[in-house]
Chains A and B, each alone.
Chain A
Amino acid sequence: MTEYETVVGLEVHCELATATKLFCGCRNAFGDEPNTNICPVCLGLPGSLPVINRRAVELALRIGSALNCSAKRSIFHRKNYFYPDMPKDYQISQYDEPINVDGFLELPDGSRVGVERAHMEEDTGKTTHVGGGGRIHEAGYSLVDYNRAGVPLVEIVSRPDIRSAAQARAYVDELRSILVAAGASDGRMEEGSLRVDANVSVRPLGATEFGTRCEVKNLNSLRSLERAIDHEVERQIALLESGGRIAQETRHWDEGDSSTHSMRSKEEANDYRYFPEPDLTPLVPDAALLAAAADGVGPMPAERRHRLSELFAAGSELATRRDGSTDQVVTVVELGLDELVHGAVAAGADPRLALARAANEAAASPQAAKNLDPAAFAALLKMESSGQLSATQSKQVLAELMDQGGDPAEIAGRLGFERMDTSALESIVDEVIAANPEEWQRLRDGDEKVAQFLFGQVMKASRGKANGKLVAEAFASRRGD
Chain B
Amino acid sequence: MTASPAPGFDSLAVIAASIRTGERSARAVLSSSLERVRELEGDLHCFNEVTIEAAEADADAVDQMVRSGIDPGPLAGVPVALKDNMCTVGIPTTCSSKILEGWLPPYDATVVSRLREAGAVAIGKTNLDEFAMGSSTENSAFGPTRNPWDTGRVPGGSSGGSASAVASGMVPLALGSDTGGSIRQPAALCGIVGVKPTYGVVSRYGLIAFASSLDQIGPFTTTVADAALALEVIAGHDPMDSTSLDRPAPSLLASLGEGVSGLRIGIVEDFITEGSECSDAVLAAAAALAAAGAKLDQVKIPELLLGLPAYYVIAPAEASSNLSRYDGVRYGLRVDGPDTETMNSRTRGQGFGPEVKRRIMMGTYALSAGYYDAYYGQAQKARTLVIRAFEAAYRDFDVLLTPTTPSVAFPFGSKVDDPIEMYMCDLCSIPSSLAGHPAASVPFALSPQGLPIGVQVLAPALGEAVMMRVAASLEAAAPREARGPVTP
What is the interface of chain A, defined by CB distance below 8 A to chain B? 40, 43-52, 78, 80, 82, 84, 87-90, 142, 144, 271, 273-275, 278-281
Contact = CB atoms under 8 A, between A and B. Distances in A.
B172 to A, nearest CB: 25
B205 A47 contact: yes
Nearest to B203: A49
Given A44-B330, A47-B205, 20 more contacts: A45-B105, A45-B106, A46-B95, A46-B100, A47-B87, A47-B105, A47-B209, A48-B107, A49-B243, A50-B242, A51-B241, A51-B242, A82-B327, A144-B329, A273-B367, A273-B369, A275-B318, A279-B209, A279-B212, A281-B243
Q: Which of B87, B93, B95, B341 has the most CB of A within 10 A?
A: B87
Contact of B330 (A82, A87, A281): A87
A49 B213 CA distance: 12
Contacts of B208: 46-47
B205 A78 contact: no
Nearest to B212: A278
B367 to A, nearest CB: 4
A47 B242 contact: no
Interface in B326-374: 327, 329-331, 340-341, 344, 364, 367-369, 372
Contacts of B368: 271, 273
Residue from the set A48, A49, A90 with the largest chain B CB neighbour count within 10 Å: A49
A451 B329 CA distance: 77
A284 to B, nearest CB: 14
B367 A275 contact: yes
Contacts of A89: 324-325, 327
A87 to B, nearest CB: 7
A278 B213 contact: yes
Contacts of B367: 80, 273-275
Given A47-B105, A279-B243, A78 B86 contact: no
B125 interface: no
B241 A46 contact: no
6 contacts: A46-B87, A46-B100, A47-B85, A48-B205, A80-B320, A274-B367
A361 to B, nearest CB: 54
A394 to B, nearest CB: 61
Contacts of B250: none
A279 B205 contact: no
Interface in B388-406: none
Interface string B241-265: 1110000000000000000000000
A60 B100 CA distance: 37
Q: Which of A43, A88, A273, A279 has the largest number of chain B CB atoms within 10 A?
A: A273
Nearest to B87: A47
Contacts of B241: 49, 51
A434 B103 CA distance: 98
Q: Which residue of A45, A50, A87, A281 has the most chain B CB atoms within 10 A of its CB atom?
A: A45
The 9 closest A-B pairs by CB, nearest first: A89-B324, A273-B367, A278-B213, A278-B212, A46-B208, A47-B206, A47-B87, A47-B208, A84-B329
Interface string B99-122: 010010111010000000000000
A40 B95 CA distance: 17
Contacts of A80: 320-321, 324, 367
